[in-house]
């Protein structure tokens, strides 16, 4: 496949950045008082994140794939390594949920609100919820925070600084104390996976699995 010339990619990146900013502003206009409003806001926000990732990766006219961390992992992701990534993030996520619950930070937080929404979702709507809340955010957020930002910050300031900074930005993007604290810790884990494997493939798998469990768990294990 022939790539467009660098100048063309440069122009495209500016347009994609503008599109992302427009989508983010649109997301802010939708209220989250209804499930539909929340779904539209999530869709617009994650689409904006995806635009920001692509714009950043191609800002200087380079191809998008390397800048997004989508190059093949150093080693093929086999069953045992995939299971280890998933088990690790679920263990951390469960431990964080307990800590936030017993600290009182979870009460009246965005995490509690999302859990209530998930618990009230009709079973026939769960496949749509899994795509919109588990897969799409995992894809967009991994490309932005672990793909572009961790890669760019790591090259400029070193991997450790890039890991902490990208995780902090990931936490701030959640706009909630409890959810942000959890996101920071999970971001460190996912970033570590990305650095270890040299690709976002495994971190996407872990992120999507964690989100899927968060969507499904309230239907079987009421928390709090």
What pLDDT tens digit does each residue of the chain (224 aa) get? Answer: 455 566 666 678 889 999 999 988 888 776 555 666 677 788 889 999 999 999 999 988 788 899 999 988 988 889 999 999 999 999 999 999 999 989 988 888 888 887 887 777 778 878 888 888 889 999 999 999 999 999 999 999 999 999 999 999 999 999 899 999 999 999 999 999 999 999 999 999 999 999 999 888 877 765 54
214 Cβ partners below 8 Å, 6+ apart?
Answer: 93, 114, 115, 118, 133, 134
Continuous H helices in 68-149: 79-103, 110-120, 126-129, 136-141
**Residue 32 pLDDT:** 58
What local confidence, expressed as pLDDT, does residue 122 receive? 79
pLDDT computed for residue 70 by the predictor? 93
Look up residue 123 and give its DSSP letter.
G
The DSSP letter of residue 147 is I
Residues 6+ apart with CB under 8 A from 34: none
Spatial CB neighbours of 90, under 8 Å, sequence gap ≥ 6 = 209, 210, 213
pLDDT of residue 4: 58
């Amino acid at each position: 496949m022939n790539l467009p010339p660098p100048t063309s990619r440069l122009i495209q990146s500016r347009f994609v950045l503008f599109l992302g900013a427009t989508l983010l502003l649109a997301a802010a206009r939708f209220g989250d008082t209804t499930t539909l409003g929340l779904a539209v806001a999530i869709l617009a926000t994650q689409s904006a994140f995806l635009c920001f990732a692509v714009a950043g990766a191609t800002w200087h006219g380079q191809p998008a794939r390397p800048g997004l961390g989508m190059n093949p992992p150093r080693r093929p992701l086999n069953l045992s390594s995939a299971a280890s990534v998933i088990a690790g993030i679920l263990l951390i996520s469960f431990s964080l949920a307990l800590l936030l619950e017993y600290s009182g930070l979870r009460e009246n937080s965005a995490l509690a609100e999302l859990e209530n929404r998930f618990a009230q979702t009709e079973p026939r709507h769960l496949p749509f919820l899994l795509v919109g809340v588990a897969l799409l955010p995992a894809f967009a957020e991994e490309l932005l925070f672990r793909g572009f930002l961790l890669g760019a910050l790591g090259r400029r300031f070193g991997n450790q600084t890039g890991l902490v900074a990208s995780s902090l930005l990931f936490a701030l993007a959640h706009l909630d104390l409890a959810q942000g604290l959890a996101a920071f810790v999970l971001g460190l884990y996912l970033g570590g996976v990305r650095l270890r494997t040299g690709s976002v493939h495994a971190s996407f798998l872990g992120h999507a699995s964690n989100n899927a469990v968060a969507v499904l768990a309230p239907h079987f294990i009421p928390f709090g």
